[in-house]
Chain A
Amino acid sequence: MDPLEIDEPGRRVLLMGNEAIARGAIEAGVRYCAAYPGSPSSEILASLARTAPRFGHYAEWSTNEKVALEGACGAAYTGLRAMATMKQNGVNVASDILTAMSLAGNPGGLVLVVCDDPGGISSTNEVDTRNYARLADVPLLEPATFQEAKDMVRWAFSLSEELELICMVRSVTRISHARGVVELGPIEKVARTAVMKPEQRYGSLPPCPNHAEVKDKLRRAAEIYESSPFNRYAGPERPELLVVTCGTGWWYSTEAIRMLGVAERVGVLKLGTTWPLPEALLKRHLEGASSVLVIEESDPVLEYNLKALLSKEALRAAAPSRLLGKVTGTVRGAYGPGVGEMNPNLAADAVARALEIEAPSLPKPLRESMQAEIDFEIPKREVAFCPGCPHRASYWVMKNVLRLDGRDGLLIGDIGCYTLGFGRTGYYLSRTMHCMGSAIGFSSGMAKLAGFGFSQPTIAVVGDSTFFHACLPGLVNARYNRSPFLCVVLDNSATAMTGFQPHPGTGKTALGEEAPRLSIESLCAGMGIPVQIVDPFDVPAATRLLYRALQKNELQVVVMRHKCAVLQGREEGLPARRVWVDAEKCIGEQCGCNRFCSAAFGCPALIWDKEKECAAIDEVICSRCGLCAELCPGGAIRITEEEVQP
């Protein structure tokens, strides 16, 4: 049975952090859930969609995060409990409505869950979205454990209703993409009817009185926080050092104290409610603590807020003589303070520095003893397009087209699997890579520079999900302002990078229902933009078409359409054929192809057999797409149609 569907309070189950968040919402009786996929947040909405038939809530993949949050706001205006979830980049997209709607409040419980990615493990940045809590004047909760991830989300709905204000819950990769034991709670089964009465009006005008009202709500939040069970102290009565921490910082601090064996000298004040700060609670714990060390992920947000609080007259007496953290450089990683992810070792280093322990006796990793004997380079594992990926074919085509064109044309990249066009298997073609839809805006600007001597043609490369998420306004802009560039939409029929979620072009919803399939080509045609479609696996046809398109000095769209190989494999299994290397025909280094298959084409399934001096195929990962057989200059890669054991 799906652990999220178990209705047995007290039952202990192993949940992914994102599942725990979803379960918290289910226990709170959430009715409306919306999200745009993004690591490490995607599994929250996926879990809610999966369990929607059982609990009767609504769940959708929205076209972008702003729409997701707006949909959730709409539901909260009718009195329902609603939630929007996203990764850190998504909050930037949703920030316009977040900073506006907080001024007017909401009657139904409304929760924004953000999953930050310190260290940018699966992201293009490591933005700390806690800064948005202060920017938008909304209460902030930070779970430190899987149990808290569930319990806090559940509580955030009641808090939101009590304050009539959206609440933000900030998770991080090490909670969202980790698993642990969670004790389930009861599921709220209050029937709520959605209605918006004539007297209900929500607008941010006039801003100042509304802003003042939000500040009052935050003062009330701080009062409520004073007795929250999510804030707790553990350690000696009068510690030599007080660690103030939140989120995963609590785990690492606790571990650091164990590692250093300093449990009798160091106390830990864990805060779960981090904006606004509970003043009396902090005063109580800080009074008499001469040294305080703040340990948290990413930016020194808690640290700055604590410093600001201690500047108040009423708290000045509680200010410690030493307040250490990232500002003082006491907490720092390989890239310096405030950069990169925290871990137990960095926390231990910081605690040791704060206690002035010169050489703490910590276990030495084997690296120290092994290093002297390592007389070879360990190759770095770069990420690559998967075997059979249609993007490899598309990039191969674009590489050749740009070369044939000969005008130093630029490939302007975007966000999705094809972001890997920045790397080796995309032949390092992408020249920019920032945020969803920016390829269109950048190209729109560059293509207007002919009057300044700029003559390089641009290809803006975006994906299908990205097209719907953030490309439409840019394309409208380019059409309106007559910006002449070629937009290539790599349509692999999924939001592949984040786990194959459906989008408006797939004809499926999050709940697995049929949906009208929005056609990228019809949308473009509707804007009056010439549009053509080609299968990148038909390399000669795709090359011809793209080359001709690039010669025209006008805005055009080419959709390169071929289903994601991983998705294809999941839906239909591997094709009944064998792709193999004819060792008689592969003459290796003597061929003159410069080992085209493994060295140039860059498919991870094409390997080089050193002993036989001949190409080979790694059958474990080969998707049997057969493109290499078409492209091999020696005709040495063969396809045999036959049943093969998977």
Chain B
Amino acid sequence: MTALRKDPFNLIIAGVGGQGNILASQLVAQAALAEGLNATIGETYGVSQRGGSVMSHVRLTAGTPVGPLIPQGEADLLIGFEPIETLQVAMDFGSPQLRVILNPRPVYPISVLSGDLAYPPMERILDLLRGHAADLSTLPATDIAREAGEIRAMNVVMVGALASAGLLPMDKESYLRVIRDQFRGRAREINQRAFETGYEALPSAHA
């Protein structure tokens, strides 16, 4: 049995509709399951296809599964697909032990595009996360995905980064096996490449 650093281990993936939160949370959960762990995923997406916030709670346990919602202040790891989404989830669910891996590319809310509100300065967001969480890494996952051949594989780049962070006990091969099971043809190739690139990219990404 694979050992967890903490039980339950609480992971949150924060992003916006269309970024592939749900696939990312499933990759992690399936990899955990393959190694004999239990996983519960709670997704909050509402009508997110239309640009709303998406938050996936992934809770890993060695024994009895737990509920789909992480209590406030109990998240151990936060994978951020979008900066202000990540900041808000960190505020609600993060503890001082929280570790954050962030793609610092903004997806602008329409209130910002319209000029009614300003997107907060990126340095301020990063400073807050750096100052209050235990650890922050940033990764230009969108650019990495573009190089891997599919800009929308950013989610899998981030899963690759998460897999190499050493916070979850699952073997790299377990994630890759899930990717091979879930995809065929070009999609399989691109997602494997995206995962590998994300996996390699994280160590140099300490912010």
Which residues of A come within 8 Å of B, CB atoms? Answer: 12, 14, 39, 121-122, 145-146, 174-175, 177-181, 248, 251-252, 254-255, 259, 343-345, 348, 362-367, 369-371, 373-386, 417, 420, 424-425, 497, 566, 595, 598-599, 602, 604, 606-608, 618-621, 645-646
Contacts and interface: CB of A to CB of B under 8 A. Distances in A.
Contact of B113 (A251, A348, A604): A604
B112 A363 contact: no
Interface in B67-102: 67-74, 84-85, 87-88, 90-96, 98
Given A146-B40, A251-B69, A254-B67, 5 more contacts: A345-B72, A362-B72, A366-B95, A383-B46, A618-B107
B68 A178 contact: yes
Interface of B: 16, 18, 25-26, 29-30, 33, 38-53, 65-74, 84-85, 87-88, 90-96, 98, 107-115, 117-121, 124, 128, 131-133, 142, 149-152
A248 B67 contact: yes
A598 B72 contact: no
A366 B38 CA distance: 27
Nearest to A342: B69
A365 B73 contact: yes
Interface centre among B25, B43, B71, B119 (most CB of A within 10 A): B71
Contacts of A382: 51-52, 109-111
A331 to B, nearest CB: 16
Nearest to B38: A181
A374 B91 CA distance: 11
B117 A377 contact: yes
Contact of A363 (B18, B69, B95): B95
A147 to B, nearest CB: 9
A14 B93 contact: no
Contacts of B70: 344
**Which 5 residue pairs spanning A and B have beta carbons closest together?**
A251-B67, A363-B73, A178-B68, A367-B91, A179-B41
Contacts of A180: 38-41, 65, 68
A173 to B, nearest CB: 8
B68 A366 contact: no
Contacts of B91: 365-367, 370-371
Contacts of B25: 179
Interface centre among B69, B113, B149 (most CB of A within 10 A): B113
Nearest to B154: A620
Contacts of A378: 84, 87-88, 120
A385 B47 CA distance: 11
Nearest to A619: B151
19 contacts: A121-B46, A122-B45, A248-B67, A345-B71, A362-B73, A364-B95, A365-B73, A365-B91, A375-B124, A378-B120, A379-B84, A386-B49, A420-B50, A424-B114, A425-B110, A604-B51, A604-B108, A645-B149, A646-B152
